Amino acid sequence: MPAKKLTPNRLLTELLTEIGNEKTETVLIDGNSVKVSKAEAVARGLYEMAQGGTIEKISKKGVITEVYIKPDAAAVRLIREYTEGKPSADITKGIADKKTAGECGSGTRKRLGEILNKPKKPGTIMARPSTLGG
């Protein structure tokens, strides 16, 4: 039987999938350190970016300050596309020419505003995946 030929893109896809499945990352879930796959750690980081919030930043002098991180619209869009499915070209055909949020419907503007301006609880601490250990 001839060997299966792998194209560079297919090889990269398989390698990324294999590496993503490695359980090497440690994250905090309900106050407990839990080992998760790299893919899950990236997904959790993506959700954190989409939500925004405050993080503790430690300066070189050891001073701890809270910094507010705005919700990332690109992360919100990416999550929506993967969880709800990307709209087909036919559906987006009439929307493709819209350049600003002001040209969207009032319901869409209201919902985006709610997502992006959602107030966070004071003292909320969020960390990027690279700061969670592992």
* 92-to-11, 86, 89, 100 alpha-carbon distances in Å: 32, 10, 5, 15
Is there a contact between 21 and 39 (Cβ–Cβ < 8 Å)? yes
Element (H, E) at 53: strand 53-58
Q: Is 101 inside a domain boundary?
A: no
Q: Is the pLDDT of residue 12 over 80?
A: yes
Number of domains in the chain: 1
Q: Cα(51)–Cα(119) distance, rounded to whole angstroms?
A: 10
pTM over cut 0.85: no
Structural domain containing residue 37: 20-88+121-129
Closest CA to 73 of 118, 39, 21: 118
- Within-domain flag for 10: no
Residues β-bridged to residue 65: 57
As a whole number, mean pLDDT of residues 35-49 equals 92
Is 112 domain-assigned?
no
More confident site: 28 or 20: 20
